[in-house]
C-alpha cells in the first residue's frame, strides 16, 4: 500500500536528513516511527503528506507516485492522507465541528453529508457534545481528538501522526494512543512518529527506528 | 463548487478581527471613487451645456439706425447668401425694447419708452461650420463692411475657448482618476494582504486537508470585490446627493444615467477583485 524505495532528503549541501530509506507498509497496518530528536521523523512524514519532495528515491502510495506528482495535483492527493500534529493545528475561528467539516468542505460535499459525517467522526472521538466549542474552549486532549476527527473524517488511505502526544500529559497521551489504535483496528493504515517509546511498548506494533536519517534494521 | 454562503462566512472570518482597518479601507475606496465620479458628472454636464450653447448660437449684428423695409429685405437676402448663416431675423428698436422688457420686467426699464436707447439689429443663426478655425472671423469681416452695420457680437470665440478648457479638464480629470484608481487598487491589495497574513495559519491548515489554490484564494478575491463594490455604491449615493444638492441650490445638473451608474459600480467591483487578485499572487505563497 505504501512503498518507500531508496528515499533520501537533503537540505542544502549538508548532511542528509534522510539517506536511502526503504520500507513497505501494508494496508491496515499500524507502525511506530521512532528516533531521537533530529533523526528525521518529521522529514519522512513531510514527504508522505507532500509538504516536500524527496531528493532521491520513490514513494508509492496506493496507485499514486508521490515523488513524481505535479504541484497542481498535490491538493487532490492530500485528500487521501490524514495528518495529526503535536500542536493540533485547529483553526481558531472555527468550532470543533467546523474544523472537522473543513476536510469535507474542500471536497465540495453537500451540507447534509458534511453534517452527518462530521457528527460521526466527532462521535468516534467522543466529542459530539462539544461540537460547538471553539478550540480555546477545549482541553489539549480534546483539541487533539478533534484534529484526529478532522484527519479521519474522509477515510484517508493513510493516517500520519507527528508526535501526537507531544503536548499531552501522561493520561491524555495514553487515551490518544488508545483512540488511534481503535481507529487503526477499524481499518485505517496508521503511522505514528514519537520518541516516547515507553508509551508504544504496550501495543507491540512494528517499529521503524531512525538514527541520524538512517533506518535501522527492523527487529521484529 | 461550494456555496456562496460558505464563501461569505469565510470572508467574515477574514475581516472579523480587522473590522476597523476594513472600514478604513472601505472609506478610502469610497473617497477614491468619489473623485472620478465627480469628474464624470462635471464633464457630462459641461459637454451637454456646451452642445446646447453651440446649437442655439447666434451672431448679433447691430445697426446704425432703423432700416426701411426695402433695406431689410435686401440685407436679409444678402446675409442668407453668406456661408454658415442659416437664418436672419430683424429686430427693430421697438422689438429690442420689448424683448428687454420681457427679460427684466417693465419696472426696471421705466422711462425708456420715451427715448429708446437700444439699437436695431439683425440676429443671424449660424451653423456648426463657424466653429472651424477662421470661419467666424471671415464672416464678421464681410458683414462689418456694410455701411449700415455698427457692431458685431459673437459669443462663439468665448465658447471655443470654453471648449478647449473643457477638453483640458477632461484629460486632467481622466489622468487624475487613473491615478486615484491605482491608489484604490493599492489600498485594496493592502487590505487583502493583511487578511492573508492574519489567516496564514488557516491557509496552511486548508492546504493540509487538500484545499486547492483556487478554493483558498476565492474568499480573498471576493473580499476585495466586495470592498470595491460597496465603496462604489456608497460613492454613487454620495454623488447622487451632491448632484441633487447643487441642482436645488446652484444650477440644474443631470446625474449619471442608470447604465452609467451600473458601469461605475461594476468598475469598483472589478477594481477590488483585481487588487485582491494581485495581493493573492504576491502574498498567498502556496
Ligand atoms: N527545512 C529544513 N531545512 C534545513 N534542515 C532541516 C529542515 N527541516 C529539517 N531539517 C534537518 O533535518 C534533520 C531532521 O529533522 P526532523 O525535523 O525530521 O527531525 P525529527 O526526527 O522530527 O526530530 P524531533 O523529534 O525533534 O521532532 C535535522 O537535522 C534538521 O535540522
Ligand atoms: Mg519532528
Domains of chain B, residue spans: 2-52+168-283, 58-154
**A198 within domain boundaries:** no
Ligand 1 pocket mutation pick from A38, A55, A212 by most atoms within 8 angstroms of CB: A38
Does residue A34's CB lie within 6 angstroms of at least one atom of ligand 1? no
Q: Do A105 and B212 touch (CB under 8 A)?
A: no
**A109 within domain boundaries:** yes
Nearest CA to ligand 1 atom 9: A43
Ligand lying closest to the C-alpha of residue A44? 1
Does residue A115's CB lie within 6 angstroms of at least one atom of ligand 1? no
Ligand lying closest to the C-alpha of residue A85? 2
Atom of ligand 1 nearest to the CA of A213: 14
| pTM score over 0.80 | no
What is the tally of structural domains in chain A?
A: 1
Residues of B whose CB is below 8 A from A93: 13, 16, 202
Is the pLDDT at B18 greater than 80? The verdict is no
DSSP line for chain B: ---HHHHHHHHHHHHGGGHHHHHHHHHHHHHHHHHHHHHHHHHHHHHHHHHHHHHT-EEEEEESSPPPHHHHHHHHHHHHTSTTEEEEEEE-HHHHHHHHHHHH-TTTTTTTTTS--PPPEEEEEE-GGGGSTTHHHHHHHHHHTSTTEEEEEETHHHHHHHHHHHHHHHHHHHHHHHHHHHHHHHHHHHHHHHHHHHTHHHHHHHHHTT--HHHHHHHHHHHHHHHHHHHHHHHHHHHHHHHHHHHHHT---PPPPHHHHHHHHHHHHHHHHHHHHHHHHHH---
Q: How far, CA to CA in Å, does A8 sit from each of A25, A32, B63, B137, B264? A: 18, 20, 105, 90, 57
The alpha carbon of A45 and the centre of ligand 2 are apart by a number of angstroms equal to 9
**A137 within domain boundaries:** yes
**Interval B250-271 mean pLDDT:** 90
Residues of B whose CB is below 8 A from A76: 210, 212
Residue pLDDT, tens place only, B164-180: 888 888 898 889 889 98
Nearest CA to ligand 1 atom 22: A42
Nearest CA to ligand 1 atom 19: A38
Does residue A17's CB lie within 6 angstroms of at least one atom of ligand 1? yes
**Architecture category of domain B58-154 in CATH:** 2-Layer Sandwich (3.30)
pLDDT tens for the 220 residues of chain A, in order: 899 999 999 988 777 899 999 999 999 999 999 999 989 999 999 999 999 999 999 999 998 999 888 988 999 999 999 999 999 999 988 999 999 999 999 998 888 999 999 999 999 999 999 999 999 999 999 999 999 999 999 999 999 999 999 989 989 999 999 999 999 998 889 999 998 888 888 887 889 999 988 998 776 5
**A74 within domain boundaries:** no
The alpha-carbon gap from B216 to the nearest alpha carbon of chain A, in Å, equals 9
Does residue A39's CB lie within 6 angstroms of at least one atom of ligand 1? yes
Phi-psi region of A108 (alpha: psi -120 to 50; beta: other; left: phi over 0): left
How big is the A-B interface in CB pairs under 8 Å?
49
Atom of ligand 1 nearest to the CA of A15: 29
**A50 within domain boundaries:** no
**A212 within domain boundaries:** no
Of A76, A83, A105, the CB nearest to B208: A83
C-alpha grid cell, residue B210: 487538500
Is the pLDDT at B108 greater than 70? The verdict is no
Residue pLDDT, tens place only, A137-196: 999 999 999 999 999 999 999 999 999 999 899 899 999 999 999 999 988 899 999 988
* Domain coverage including residue A130: 97-154
Residues of B whose CB is below 8 A from A79: 209-210
What are A16's strand-pairing partners?
Answer: A10
Residues 199-218 of B with CB under 8 A from A: 201-202, 204-213, 215
Q: Do B1 and A111 touch (CB under 8 A)?
A: no
Residues of B whose CB is below 8 A from A106: 206, 209-212, 215
The alpha-carbon gap from A219 to the nearest alpha carbon of chain B, in Å, equals 33
pLDDT of residue B210: 92
C-alpha grid cell, residue B245: 444638492
Residue pLDDT, tens place only, B110-162: 666 677 788 888 888 887 777 776 777 788 888 888 888 888 888 776 777 77
Nearest CA to ligand 1 atom 2: A11
Amino acid at each position: 500500500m505504501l512503498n518507500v524505495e531508496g528515499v533520501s532528503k537533503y537540505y542544502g549541501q549538508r548532511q542528509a536528513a534522510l539517506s536511502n530509506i526503504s520500507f513497505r507498509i501494508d494496508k491496515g497496518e499500524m507502525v511506530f516511527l521512532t528516533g531521537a530528536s533530529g533523526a528525521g521523523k518529521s522529514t519522512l512524514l513531510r514527504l508522505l503528506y507532500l509538504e516536500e519532495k524527496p531528493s532521491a528515491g520513490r514513494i508509492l502510495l496506493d496507485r499514486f507516485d508521490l515523488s513524481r506528482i505535479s504541484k497542481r495535483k498535490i491538493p487532490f492527493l492530500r485528500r487521501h492522507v490524514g495528518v495529526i500534529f503535536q500542536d493540533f493545528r485547529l483553526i481558531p475561528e472555527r468550532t470543533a465541528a467546523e474544523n472537522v467539516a473543513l476536510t469535507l468542505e474542500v471536497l465540495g460535499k453537500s451540507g447534509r453529508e458534511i453534517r452527518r459525517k462530521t457528527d460521526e467522526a466527532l462521535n468516534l472521538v467522543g466529542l459530539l457534545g462539544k461540537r460547538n466549542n471553539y478550540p480555546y474552549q477545549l482541553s489539549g486532549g480534546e483539541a487533539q481528538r478533534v484534529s484526529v476527527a478532522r484527519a479521519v473524517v474522509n477515510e484517508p488511505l493513510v493516517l500520519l501522526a507527528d508526535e501526537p502526544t507531544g503536548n499531552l500529559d501522561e493520561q491524555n497521551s495514553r487515551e490518544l494512543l488508545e483512540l488511534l489504535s481503535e481507529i487503526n483496528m477499524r481499518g485505517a493504515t496508521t503511522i505514528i512518529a514519537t520518541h516516547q517509546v515507553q508509551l508504544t511498548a504496550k501495543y507491540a506494533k512494528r517499529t521503524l527506528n531512525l538514527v541520524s536519517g538512517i533506518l535501522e534494521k527492523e527487529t521484529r | 463548487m461550494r456555496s456562496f454562503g460558505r464563501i461569505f462566512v469565510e470572508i467574515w472570518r477574514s475581516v472579523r478581527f480587522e473590522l476597523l482597518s476594513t472600514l478604513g479601507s472601505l472609506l478610502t475606496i469610497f473617497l477614491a471613487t468619489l473623485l472620478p465620479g465627480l469628474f464624470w458628472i462635471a464633464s457630462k454636464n459641461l459637454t451637454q451645456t456646451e452642445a446646447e450653447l453651440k446649437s442655439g448660437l447666434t451672431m448679433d449684428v447691430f445697426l446704425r439706425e432703423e432700416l426701411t423695409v426695402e433695406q431689410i429685405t435686401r440685407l436679409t437676402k444678402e446675409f442668407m447668401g453668406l456661408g454658415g448663416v442659416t437664418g436672419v431675423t430683424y429686430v427693430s428698436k421697438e422689438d429690442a425694447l420689448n424683448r428687454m422688457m420681457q427679460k427684466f420686467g417693465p419696472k426696471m426699464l421705466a422711462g425708456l419708452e420715451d427715448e429708446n436707447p437700444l439699437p436695431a439689429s439683425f440676429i443671424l443663426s449660424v451653423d456648426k461650420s463657424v466653429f472651424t478655425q477662421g470661419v467666424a472671423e471671415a464672416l464678421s469681416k464681410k458683414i462689418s463692411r456694410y455701411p449700415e452695420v455698427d457692431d458685431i457680437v459673437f459669443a462663439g470665440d468665448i465658447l471655443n475657448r470654453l471648449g478647449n478648457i473643457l477638453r483640458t479638464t477632461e484629460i486632467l480629470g481622466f489622468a487624475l482618476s487613473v491615478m486615484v484608481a491605482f491608489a484604490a487598487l493599492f489600498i485594496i491589495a493592502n487590505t487583502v494582504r493583511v487578511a492573508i497574513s492574519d489567516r496564514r495559519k488557516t491557509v496552511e491548515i486548508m492546504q493540509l486537508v487538500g484545499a486547492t489554490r483556487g478554493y483558498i484564494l476565492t474568499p480573498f478575491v471576493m473580499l476585495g470585490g466586495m470592498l470595491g463594490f460597496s465603496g462604489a455604491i456608497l460613492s454613487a449615493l454620495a454623488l447622487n446627493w451632491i448632484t441633487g444638492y447643487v441642482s436645488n441650490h446652484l444650477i440644474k445638473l443631470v446625474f449619471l444615467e442608470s447604465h452609467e451608474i451600473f458601469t461605475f459600480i461594476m468598475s469598483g467591483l472589478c477594481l477590488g477583485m483585481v487588487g485582491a487578485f494581485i495581493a493573492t499572487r504576491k502574498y498567498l505563497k502556496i
